Chains A and B, each alone.
Chain A
Amino acid sequence: MKPGWTVGTAAGLAVWAAIALVWASLAGADPGGSPARVIGVGIPLLAGPGLGFVLLLNIADPLLGFVIAVSLGCATLVVGAQISLYSGHWSPPAVIASQLVCTVLIAAAASVRGAIMKRRREAGSVAG
C-alpha cells in the first residue's frame, strides 16, 4: 500500500469518525433514523476501529484488510457493549463514543505513520 494513499485514507477515516461522533452526540437516542445516518454513523461504528488498524499496520491485501476491518470493528463493539453491560453502567452513548474516539485516534496515528513513511521514502529516493 502506498504511504500517500494511507495518509489520505486514514485522514479521511478520522474526519468521518469525528463527524459521526458529533452526529451521534447531537442526535442522541432520537429515533429519527435515515439511510444517511446508517451510512454516516453506522459504518464507522461497525468498521472504523478495524479499518484504522488495517491502515496503521499497512496491510496491503484488500480482501484481508476488508475482513479484518469489519470483523475487528464488530468484535470491539461487542466487547465494548459487554463491558458496559456487565460493569453495571449500561450506556450506549458511551460505547458509541468510545468506538468512534478509538477510530479517530487510530486513524490519526495511521495517517501520521503514513506521512513519516512517505517522507522517509522520499528522503531515501533523493539520497539514492
Chain B
Amino acid sequence: MISNSVTRYLPPPGPPDAAHDDETARGTGAGHRDPRPGIIRAGAKPAVLVAGVVTGYVLIRGRADGNIGPWGIVEALPWPYLFLLVLPAIVFFHELQRGMRRVVLSLALAAQVITIYGSVAFSESMPRFATAWLHAGFTTQILQTGETATGMDARFSWPGFFAAAGVFSEAVGLEPLSLLRWAPMCFALLFLAPLALLFRALHGSARVRWTGLWVFTVANWVGQDYFAPQAFAFFLHLAGLSVVTAVFLGGARSVTRSRPVGRIRAMLTLPADVNPEGAAVTYGQRSFLIVLLVIVSAAVAMSHQLTPFMLAMTLCLLALTGVLRIALLPLATVIITVGWLCYGAQDYWNGHMSAIFGSAGQVSSVVSSGVGSRIVGSTVHQAIVNLRIAFAGVMWLLAAAGLIHLLRSRKYGLILGIIAGAPFLMLGLQAYGGEGMLRVYLFSLPATALLAAHACASLAARARPVAAVVAVAGLLVLPVSLVARYGNESYEHVSAQEGAAVAALYDIAPYGSTLVCLSPNLSWRNIGLSQYDYAQAVLDQFAVHRVDLAIAAMGTNPKGAYLIVTRGQIAYGEEVYGLPADWGRSVQRDIVGSRRFTTVFHNDDATVYRLEPVKEARR
C-alpha cells in the first residue's frame, strides 16, 4: 500500500546540468563571495524591493480611469512604472547569480507578483472583471439564502468555493465585492509555495527551480486567478500535486540502463540528490498525508468542474507509468470526482450531457474554438490575441527544448513531461465553452515553466553573450506579459462612474424588473441575483440598429425594464466586435430616437434607461 522505500539512483554522468548548484552550496558558503555580508549589504536588495513596490503604488494609485486604451493597462501606466516592473526581475536574477539567499529571492518574487498584479489593483478605482462581480453575486446569494440556485447557473452545482468565500467574508466582516480587488494577487502569491515544493521534487538545480517560479509568474497571463472557483481549485490542485510529487513519487523498482525499457524506467526514476526532504517523511506522516490528499480532492471536486478531472488525469498518468506507486490515491480522486458529478452536480448533467461530452474526440474543433474563434474584432484586439498565442507557443517550444535536453542528458525529464502533457488529454474530452486551450495552457504551465527555465538556464550556461541575450529577453518579456495579461482592460476594468451607475440601477429598479445590458462584459449582478430578471445582452440588435428587436428582447415585464449602457460596453463592441469608433454615439441616438426610453441616471461613463410602456410612448 504505502511504500516507504523510494527507489532512487545516483545521477548519471551526463552533460553539465545547468548547474546542480544547490542552495546547500550557499549554506556551506561555497556560493558566497563574502560569507558575512554587512547589514547594509544584506539589507540593500530587500530595501530596494520594498521601495520599488511602495513607489509603484504611489505612482499609479487611481490612475487607470480615463487613461486605459485599446492596448490595455500599459497605456495607463507611466513609463517609470515599467522600470519598477523590471526592478524585481533585475534584483532576482542578480541574486540568483551572486548570493542565492532564499529570503532575497522570495522577496523579489513577491515584489514581482505585486508589481504585475498591482498594475491593476493599485491603479483601478473599482474591482475589475464582470465574471468576478458575478461570483461575488453567487457568494452573496448563498450567504443570504443558504441555498444554491442550480437552475440559475451551472456553477451553483459546484458551490464549494462560493460557500467558503461566504463564510470567510462573514468572518472578516467584508462584503464579497471587497475581496475581488486583492484576490488575484493573493492567489498568485499562494501559488508560489506549492510550485516551489513541486519544483524541488522534480529538479536538482536550485537555480533552475527559482527561475521556474519566476517564469511561471510572468507567463501566467491567462487571467484565471481572479475571485473564482478555478483559481481556488487550481491552488488546491497544485498543493495536492506538489505533496504527491514531494512525498510519494518513487520510481521503477529495478533500474537497468542496458535495454530500452530500462532506460525509460531510469527516466521515470528520481535521482538520489533530488528532493531528499521527501524521502525523510515518516510512515505515519505519509498515512496522514493520504487522508489530507483525499480531503483536498473532495474540496476540489466540490468547487470546480474541470480541475478535479485535471488532478485525477495527472495522478492516473503518474500511477500508470509506475512513477506513483499508490494506486489508492488516483483511484480515490476519480471516485470523489465522479461521485460529486453524480450527486452534487446532478441537476447540471441531467440536461447537459451533450455540453459535457458532446465535444469528446473532436480535438480540432476544441482547438479552433479555443484559438481561431478568438482572433476577431479590432486590429489591436487581434494583435493582442496573436501575442497571447505567440506567448504560449514560445513557452511550449522552450519547454520542449528543456524536455529534450533533460531526456538526452538521461535525467528525470519524463516525469515533468507527464505532468506537462496530462492536461492536453482534456482536448479530446471537453471544449469547456471554448476555453479548453486556455485551461490546458494553465494546467500545463507549472511543468512547462520549469522545463522552460531549464532550457533558458542551459542556454545561458553556454557563453556570456548567450546569457546576456537570455537576460535581455527575460526583461523584455515583462511588459509584453502585461499586454497579454491586461490587454482587454479597456472593457474589463470598471471605472468609478460605471460602478456608481450600477449602484444607481439597483437603487432605481424595483425587485422583479427586467435588467438588460448591451454586452456580456458589464460588471454587475453582485447583488440581487435572484431578485431581478436579467435578460440576454442585446449588443447584436443594437449593432445593426434594430432597436425594435432589443425592445422585444426586453420583454413586457409589468414591473418595468431597464437598459444600462456603459463606456466598457461600448469599448467591448469596438474591440471584440470590431464596430466603428462612433458606434456608442450611434447607439445613444437610436435609443433616444426610438422614444421608448427615459433616462433615469446619467454620468460621464454610463446611462441607465427605463423602457416605457407602449401606451405612454404613444401619448
- Name A residues whose Cβ lies closer than 8 Å to a Cβ of B: 24, 27, 29-34, 37-38, 41-42, 45-46, 53, 57-61, 63-64, 66-68, 70-72, 74-82, 84-86, 88, 90-93, 95-96
Contact = CB atoms under 8 A, between A and B. Distances in A.
Contacts of B143: 92
A92 B143 CA distance: 8
24 contacts: A27-B173, A31-B173, A31-B175, A33-B173, A42-B171, A57-B284, A57-B285, A61-B280, A63-B200, A66-B193, A67-B243, A68-B239, A70-B193, A71-B243, A71-B296, A78-B163, A81-B166, A81-B167, A82-B159, A82-B163, A84-B163, A85-B146, A90-B145, A92-B170
Nearest to A91: B146
Nearest to B242: A67
A57 B173 CA distance: 33
Contacts of B344: 86
A67 B167 contact: no
Which one of A29, A64, A74 has the greatest number of beta carbons of chain B within 10 Å? Answer: A64
Contacts of A41: 171-172
A78 B299 contact: yes
Contact of A75 (B146, B148, B159, B296): B296
A38 B170 CA distance: 11
- The 10 A-B residue pairs with the shortest CB-CB distance, nearest first, are A90-B146, A71-B239, A33-B173, A81-B163, A33-B174, A75-B299, A78-B299, A78-B160, A92-B170, A92-B167
Contacts of A78: 160-161, 163-164, 298-299, 302-303
A28 to B, nearest CB: 9
B228 to A, nearest CB: 14
Interface in B138-172: 142-143, 145-148, 159-161, 163-164, 166-168, 170-172
A70 B190 CA distance: 9
A98 to B, nearest CB: 10
B299 A79 contact: yes
B166 A92 contact: yes
Interface in B276-325: 277, 280-281, 284-285, 288-289, 292, 295-296, 298-299, 302-303
A92 B171 contact: yes
Nearest to A34: B173
A67 B239 contact: yes
Interface of B: 142-143, 145-148, 159-161, 163-164, 166-168, 170-175, 178, 190, 193-194, 196-197, 200, 232, 235-236, 239-240, 242-243, 246-247, 277, 280-281, 284-285, 288-289, 292, 295-296, 298-299, 302-303, 344
A77 B173 contact: no
A78 B344 CA distance: 14
Nearest to B200: A63
Contacts of A42: 168, 171-172
A47 to B, nearest CB: 11
B296 A85 contact: no
A45 B166 CA distance: 13
Contacts of A84: 163
B197 A38 contact: no
Contacts of B280: 60-61
A84 B146 CA distance: 9
A57 to B, nearest CB: 5
B146 A71 contact: no
A84 B284 CA distance: 31
Contacts of B194: 67, 71
Contacts of B232: 74
Contact of A31 (B174, B196, B242, B281): B174
B179 to A, nearest CB: 10
Given A70-B239, A71-B236, A64 B296 contact: no
Contact of B168 (A71, A77, A82): A77
B167 A38 contact: no
A67 B145 CA distance: 33
Given A42-B172, A81-B160, A92-B167, A67 B193 contact: yes
A85 B277 CA distance: 39
Contacts of A53: 288, 292
Which one of B148, B173, B196 has the greatest number of beta carbons of chain A within 10 Å? Answer: B173
A74 B401 CA distance: 37
A96 B143 CA distance: 13
B183 to A, nearest CB: 12
A85 B175 contact: no
A43 B26 CA distance: 32
Nearest to B173: A33
Contacts of A90: 142, 145-147
Contacts of B243: 64, 67-68, 71
A33 B172 contact: yes
B167 A77 contact: yes
A99 B138 CA distance: 22
Contacts of A82: 159-160, 163, 302
Contacts of B193: 63, 66-67, 70
B614 to A, nearest CB: 42
A95 B164 CA distance: 9
Contacts of A30: 173
Contacts of B148: 85
A32 B174 CA distance: 7
A72 B146 contact: no
B289 A68 contact: yes
Contacts of B174: 31, 33, 38
Given A61-B277, A85-B142, A90-B147, 19 more contacts: A29-B173, A32-B173, A33-B178, A34-B173, A59-B285, A67-B239, A70-B239, A74-B232, A74-B299, A76-B295, A77-B164, A77-B167, A79-B298, A79-B302, A81-B167, A85-B148, A85-B163, A92-B143, A93-B170
Contacts of A64: 197, 243, 246-247, 277, 281
Nearest to B303: A78
Contacts of B277: 61, 63-64
B332 to A, nearest CB: 14
A75 B197 contact: no
